Structure 1
Amino acid sequence: MNFKKFTRHQGFGASIFMGVFYAVAMLVIFLIGYTAIPGEMDQLKIAIVNEDAGESGAQISEQLSESLPFKIETDYSHDNALQKLEDNDISLLIHIPETFSANAQNGESAEINYTVNEASATMVASSMSSIVNEVNKQLSASFSTQTAQGILMNMNVPEEQAAAMAEQIENAYVGNYVIMNDVPDGMHNTMLPMFLTMVSYVGAMIAAMQLVQVYKHHRGKESRFKLFGYVQLSALLIAVLSTIAALITAYIITDLDTAVMLKVAGQQVLLYMAAFNVCAIFTFLIGEAGMIINIPILLSQTIANGATIPREMMYGYFEVASYITPMYYSVNAYLATMFGSTDASPFIWGLAAVGVGALLINLLIVTVLHKKEPKPRSIIQ
């Protein structure tokens, strides 16, 4: 067989198509999706809680509200703001204690606390760290030397003495960077929720293509509903085996806590089954060509899963995808379970709902579109 004859096989043309299609789809989805950084940063919310009994706290709160390019919330109590941060409803909590003005005037340590939830989208945690550093520089330079001096002079303190005390206050100002739900050092730990999600989803997508082909190969030999049950049972078996392999690998390489291994294992199996049925929808409909649809859906979820960009910053298409596909629920459930963020239950229920919905759609396809059974094959295969 020469090369020309080899290229006439449909697999040759299909491989060329998939190579070009994958490259174009990946670049279009990724490049458009990541233009949200930093363009949509102003969609993030920051809470400023001012408990200061003096004037300084109000001045700082007003200055920050005007200068920071975010949605500023100032109506929360400290406890309420902490819960909002825990649930990733806000990205940064700036807390001005009630003794701030008094400490500044007395030359004592005047502190402002900046709290960030590390168990969130990586872009949020890194961006908030940079914001805190910049705010601290500005406050150290402006408030400590100018505002403090003005306050002291208003208290009838001599100008020279006020300047000396202001210098003392400048050195006493402290901006505390507080981490909520600390994630172990290393990008491999930070990205573990996304990586576990990705490996499960990709494996499920490939299995969906293969197992549905087995289902179609045996149609006419057994009831389509019995074969559908075999497909689901096979997927469940693969889910358990792949979960064991994935978690052993993750445990060896990362700082995955043994105390959460069982919970993570359950979530991983649930994710696999949800992903399998989502991918199987298009394979049941149009066979192997369903990969043409499944690949863009997979790529879209690398943006919409919330590991890098929070839902507030996503463009409309990706935000919608985060509600109806498995990855967003999986990543956030892992963040909650592994690193102690918000309650994982809503995300697990969301993942289960997506999986059950996809399962019912597949069952409907088998019931309605596969109603006519193929004629039995004359040759035993």
Structure 2
Amino acid sequence: MNTCKAFFKSGPTLVGIGIAFAFLLIFFIVWLTAYDGVSDRLENLRVGIVDHETTFYSSILEDSLPFTTITIDNESAGMEQLNKREIEMLIVIPEGFTNSIQTEEGVMEYYINQAAPSMSKQMMENAVKEITTKLNEYIFTVKKEQVINVPEEYIKEGMQLLSYQSVRTEIVQVNHTEGFAATMVPLLIILASFVGSMLMSLNLYQATQNLKSSFNKWSILLSRFSIQLIVSGCLAVLTISLLLLFQFELQVSVFESIIFQTLVYLSFLCFTQMFTILFGMAGMLFNIISLSIQLVTAGVIVPRVLLSDFYQQLSTVFPATYGTSGYFTIIYGGASLTEEMLLLCSIIVITFGVTVVRVVLTKEKNEEVSLQGN
């Protein structure tokens, strides 16, 4: 019992218990508020339609889908938007579709981008089934009334409408990668990178406190950044090597992947370092909050467009958002890493700039001593 009392009289014990409670409260509050109302914002998902027939079938698709539909001139423009993840699915009504369903079976083409959150892909696949069902029901009804190319056995009363198929679906999985593990790679790397950077920043801060009396603040800051840059590069090499070891096929070059992961880890380190420099040990609370928010808003499982406007805007300032987007490209392909890399560089510059300003305003030990002597 005396030992137990001694533990509770120790500051680190109370801090550890407080962190455990903070983790639980923060994750509950952030995750439940962020995911609230996701199913009510399905219209935020965008689907493109290329209609070569210029018929009323595109209007049927628009009425059938709970998503926002946009008309696209051709497949080339549609595929470009699909690869950039500006739309979730591309629907193509081929030329001659109306004539084909009158004489035989028409084919409706659906292109679904696999470099997207799991929830988005599943919703698009379910939407394809619903669209096909409604189109077949509608076309069957028209044919039954006009008695056009419908076998007599299908017109008999009580026969299931879907016994006669006029429309067949052709689903093309764009940027497809085999294996369920590939879908979890972005989340795995982002989570491991941020937690690792958070713990590293904490330990570097504690080391800084011990070195303050022996070295000036600028040499400490420069050394910290040098260590962060070297560690980021080494961890990037290790990360990409592990992906290759586990036989993941990278859709961009190994060199570009390493540079990208270096920027991801360095942005995480500068981000978490900023809070520890600004607030000391209390900065870890802000890092815990940012960890929770980034896991929700990064767009690995749930598309960011389905979150509330507040969380969508908040996601734009966090590096995990661009890290996730970049890893969709590395694992699935379809887009370029240039934009994500530039945004990560911006985050590095801004967060390190805030750290520099804080260091400028910090008085060194020898300055404090001289002021006290005067």
Same fold (TM over 0.5): yes
Is the 8 Å Cα contact of residues 149 and 166 (structure 1) preserved in structure 2?
no
Give the CA deviation at 1:325: 1.1
* Partner AA of 1:135 in structure 2: I
Give the CA deviation at 1:88: 1.0
Is the 8 Å Cα contact of residues 333 and 345 (structure 1) preserved in structure 2?
no
* Partner AA of 2:59 in structure 1: E
Measure, in 2, the Cα distance between the counterparts of 1:180 and 1:285.
Answer: 45
Measure, in 2, the Cα distance between the counterparts of 1:103 and 1:286.
Answer: 69
Measure, in 2, the Cα distance between the counterparts of 1:14 and 1:104.
Answer: 70
Measure, in 2, the Cα distance between the counterparts of 1:286 and 1:301.
Answer: 20
Measure, in 2, the Cα distance between the counterparts of 1:314 and 1:148.
Answer: 43
Q: Alpha-carbon deviations, 1:141-176, whole Å to 9, x = none?
A: 332x223445xx4xxxxx4x6432996994453111
Residue 93 of structure 1 pairs with residue 90 of structure 2: yes
* Structure-2-length-normalised TM-score: 0.89
Give the CA deviation at 1:75: 4.7
Give the CA deviation at 1:224: 1.0
Alignment of 1:275-294 (within 5 A): 275-294=268-287
Measure, in 2, the Cα distance between the counterparts of 1:377 and 1:59.
Answer: 79
Q: Alpha-carbon deviations, 1:235-272, whole Å to 9, x = none?
A: 12222333333334333445243964332222111111
Q: Alpha-carbon deviations, 1:80-136, whole Å to 9, x = none?
A: 2221111111111111111101112222x3111011100012211111011112212
Counterpart selection for 2:132 from 125, 132, 136 = 136
Aligned partner of 2:16 in structure 1 is: 15
Measure, in 1, the Cα distance between the counterparts of 2:368 and 2:207.
Answer: 15
Measure, in 2, the Cα distance between the counterparts of 1:17 and 1:273.
Answer: 28
Residue 262 of structure 1 pairs with residue 255 of structure 2: yes
* Structure-1-length-normalised TM-score: 0.88
The Cα RMSD (Å) is 2.5
* Partner AA of 1:179 in structure 2: Q
Aligned partner of 2:142 in structure 1 is: 147
* Partner AA of 2:21 in structure 1: V
Measure, in 2, the Cα distance between the counterparts of 1:337 and 1:45.
Answer: 23
Is the 8 Å Cα contact of residues 49 and 69 (structure 2) preserved in structure 1?
yes
Cα–Cα, structure 1 residues 28 and 139, in superposed 2: closer, same or farther, change >3 Å? same
Cα–Cα, structure 1 residues 45 and 258, in superposed 2: closer, same or farther, change >3 Å? closer
Residue 341 of structure 1 pairs with residue 328 of structure 2: no
Cα–Cα, structure 1 residues 260 and 167, in superposed 2: closer, same or farther, change >3 Å? farther
* Partner AA of 1:147 in structure 2: V
Is the 8 Å Cα contact of residues 213 and 287 (structure 1) preserved in structure 2?
no
Bigger shift: residues 245-254 or 189-198: 245-254
Is the 8 Å Cα contact of residues 46 and 71 (structure 1) preserved in structure 2?
yes
Give the CA deviation at 1:46: 1.2
* Partner AA of 2:323 in structure 1: S
Q: Alpha-carbon deviations, 1:50-92, whole Å to 9, x = none?
A: 1116xxxx23211221231111112543322221111111111
Measure, in 2, the Cα distance between the counterparts of 1:94 and 1:245.
Answer: 40
Bigger shift: residues 66-75 or 264-273: 66-75
Is the 8 Å Cα contact of residues 82 and 93 (structure 1) preserved in structure 2?
yes
Aligned partner of 1:163 in structure 2 is: 150
Aligned partner of 1:74 in structure 2 is: 71
Alignment of 1:30-41 (within 5 A): 30-41=31-42
Is the 8 Å Cα contact of residues 47 and 76 (structure 1) preserved in structure 2?
no
Is the 8 Å Cα contact of residues 274 and 355 (structure 1) preserved in structure 2?
yes
Counterpart selection for 1:180 from 174, 193, 200 = 174
Measure, in 1, the Cα distance between the counterparts of 2:213 and 2:312.
Answer: 42
* Partner AA of 2:30 in structure 1: I
Aligned partner of 1:309 in structure 2 is: 302
Cα–Cα, structure 1 residues 96 and 34, in superposed 2: closer, same or farther, change >3 Å? same
Residue 44 of structure 1 pairs with residue 35 of structure 2: no
Is the 8 Å Cα contact of residues 72 and 78 (structure 2) preserved in structure 1?
no
Cα–Cα, structure 1 residues 259 and 85, in superposed 2: closer, same or farther, change >3 Å? closer
Measure, in 1, the Cα distance between the counterparts of 2:200 and 2:58.
Answer: 54
Q: Alpha-carbon deviations, 1:197-239, whole Å to 9, x = none?
A: 2211111111111112222321242221111010011112222
Is the 8 Å Cα contact of residues 200 and 268 (structure 1) preserved in structure 2?
no
Measure, in 2, the Cα distance between the counterparts of 1:322 and 1:227.
Answer: 31
Bigger shift: residues 234-243 or 161-170: 161-170
Is the 8 Å Cα contact of residues 119 and 301 (structure 2) preserved in structure 1?
yes
Aligned partner of 1:110 in structure 2 is: 106
Measure, in 2, the Cα distance between the counterparts of 1:135 and 1:166.
Answer: 25
Q: Alpha-carbon deviations, 1:287-325, whole Å to 9, x = none?
A: 111111110111100111121222322222321222111
**Aligned residues: percent identity?**
20
Aligned partner of 2:365 in structure 1 is: 374
Q: How many residues align?
A: 361
Q: Alpha-carbon deviations, 1:307-365, whole Å to 9, x = none?
A: 12223222223212221110011111111132112222111111111111111111111
Measure, in 2, the Cα distance between the counterparts of 1:259 and 1:52.
Answer: 37
Aligned partner of 1:156 in structure 2 is: none
Is the 8 Å Cα contact of residues 149 and 165 (structure 1) preserved in structure 2?
no
Measure, in 1, the Cα distance between the counterparts of 2:111 and 2:172.
Answer: 4
Cα–Cα, structure 1 residues 121 and 259, in superposed 2: closer, same or farther, change >3 Å? closer
Bigger shift: residues 259-268 or 231-240: 259-268
